[in-house]
Amino acid sequence: NKSERSIRDVAANVTVLADEEFRLQMAASIADVLRYAPGIDSEGAGTRFGAEGISIRGIG
> Who has greater pLDDT, 41 or 47?
41
How far CA 16 is from CA of 25, 45, 50, 56, in Å, comes to 15, 26, 25, 14
Is the pTM above the cut of 0.95?
no
Task: Classify burial at 27, counting beta carbons within 10 Å of its beta carbon; exposed 0-12, middle 13-18, buried 19 or more.
Answer: middle
Residue ranges covered by each domain of the chain: 7-56
Q: State the Cα–Cα distance between residues 7 and 44, nearest whole angstrom.
A: 31
* pLDDT-based confidence at residue 1 (cuts at 50, 70, 90): low
- Give the tens place of pLDDT for each residue, 4-38: 888 777 767 777 878 887 788 787 777 777 777 88
Residue 53: predicted pLDDT: 76
16 Cβ partners below 8 Å, 6+ apart? 7
| Mean pLDDT on 31-60 | 72
Average pLDDT of the segment spanning 50-59? 73
DSSP state of 9: G
3-state secondary structure of 44: strand
